[in-house]
Chain A
């Protein structure tokens, strides 16, 4: 199957409450389709959470659709990750810095998508940086390096469209330079 005939998609993953749904909503031209249910996990302060996946899309100038998928945050849906990642252009990992152990959260997604990110593009966005001053971006950088995961890691407020776009910009850049080689 040629690249152009394949479904074009970008994947958003990360912890529950990290803002995958919000990030997709920031750039999707349709109202994102979410399978949200009332949250029963008391450790996360949100009324609803996604148990299936989020979906948004952008129509390119040739009519082709760029599909934006958000994985469910909970690791019990890990079996879906490989399915969703198949054929994806790149991966955006969103981490909620205010959670008890965000570095361990990062490990989960680096490990879960290891095969995919070894051959594609990835960028990590850290949300709510102000909530946990004990950890810095340096800590994430070192953690990623220790796992040979060499991707940009930036603070992000997913409510800000330009910040979500910056993540996608860096994703595009990786794909473009990969094509150049």
Chain B
């Protein structure tokens, strides 16, 4: 699962204040300063580079940590960004380890400086710009409605995506096992994930108590496909947690006699205020 973390508040605030945003080829939108709360931690891995280049690249990433929009940490397992030498990965059909990364950054001697391609020899300004661009793409993917099957940088770049694998774990059909498993949100999602009032309702339900996807659809008005995609995005953003059974069993619920009266009351309030059930 793709993982993002919010950097430690104190340290990111410091980093934020020290950031200069030299630009270095990144677009205007990418150069906007991010607040500490908007800075995420992303993971990358390096493969196929010479020992010298790999060491240099990692060192540069550390040095650039004061300037990049997001914090980048090296990790071998399930990175969000794979930095790969072009000789090992010349095209989308020849991906060395597709399950490892959802986004690939090519490194090598290339004639055209486009997308997420890093030139050799490495240059800090180029690396900073490309990391910023990669961060934007990863964030965009997490928030996007569409399945993450393409990069924003270049259609020719390999797109090994573990999102495909995770999507299989979200049942899209009520007949599939798991459709009636209870899900719960750990906290309120970021605004880009809440594409419509129905998504807002679904998030409200998932926060209130553990819910099955069928119940979410019933109460929110989301279609099954929309619900499946929404849950997948929540999962990618690490917003799902183990169901808290206390939320069901510990709630003070009205007794059966009062239940009907309460349902009627809520319906009358909706009717009066013009709120659709």
**A interacts with B:** yes
Residues of B within 8 A of A172 (CB): 266, 269-270, 275
Q: In the complex the two chains form, is B208's CB within 8 Å of A2's CB?
A: no
B66: shortest Cβ distance to chain A, in Å?
19
Residues of B within 8 A of A153 (CB): 188
Q: In the complex the two chains form, is B35's CB within 8 Å of A134's CB?
A: yes
Q: In the complex the two chains form, is B261's CB within 8 Å of A152's CB?
A: no
B183-213 interface with A by 8 A CB criterion: 185-191, 197, 200-201, 203-205, 207-209, 211
Q: In the complex the two chains form, is A150's CB within 8 Å of B207's CB?
A: yes
Bound together, the chains give a CA A121 to CA B254 distance in angstroms of 13
Contact with A along B227-246 (1 / 0, CB 8 A): 00000000000000000000
Q: Is A42 an interface residue (CB 8 A)?
A: no
CB < 8 Å: which of B185, B215, B274 contacts A150? Answer: B185
Tally of B interface residues using CB under 8 Å: 45
Q: Is B273 an interface residue (CB 8 A)?
A: yes
Interface-forming stretch among A56-64, A91-99, A106-114?
A: A56-64
Q: In the complex the two chains form, is A8's CB within 8 Å of B190's CB?
A: no
Q: How many A-B residue pairs have CB under 8 A?
A: 130
B191: shortest Cβ distance to chain A, in Å?
6
A130-181 interface with B by 8 A CB criterion: 133-142, 144-145, 150-154, 165-166, 168-170, 172-181
Q: Using A179-B253, A179-B263 as known contacts, say yes or no to A168 and B200 having CB atoms under 8 A apart.
A: no
Bound together, the chains give a CA A170 to CA B257 distance in angstroms of 24
Q: In the complex the two chains form, is A152's CB within 8 Å of B251's CB?
A: no
Q: In the complex the two chains form, is A119's CB within 8 Å of B251's CB?
A: yes
Q: In the complex the two chains form, is B219's CB within 8 Å of A168's CB?
A: no
Contact sample, A vs B, 20 pairs, CB 8 Å cutoff: A4-B258, A4-B264, A8-B265, A27-B273, A64-B268, A133-B35, A136-B37, A137-B191, A142-B6, A145-B186, A150-B187, A150-B207, A154-B200, A169-B275, A170-B201, A170-B204, A176-B219, A177-B211, A178-B253, A180-B215
Task: List the 10 shortest-distance A-B pairs measured between CB atoms, nearest first.
Answer: A145-B187, A141-B188, A150-B207, A119-B252, A3-B258, A60-B268, A4-B261, A3-B261, A152-B204, A169-B275
B residues with CB within 8 A of A: 6, 35, 37-38, 185-191, 197, 200-201, 203-205, 207-209, 211, 215, 219, 248, 251-254, 257-259, 261-266, 268-275
A residues with CB within 8 A of B: 2-4, 8, 27, 58-62, 64, 66, 119, 121, 123, 133-142, 144-145, 150-154, 165-166, 168-170, 172-181
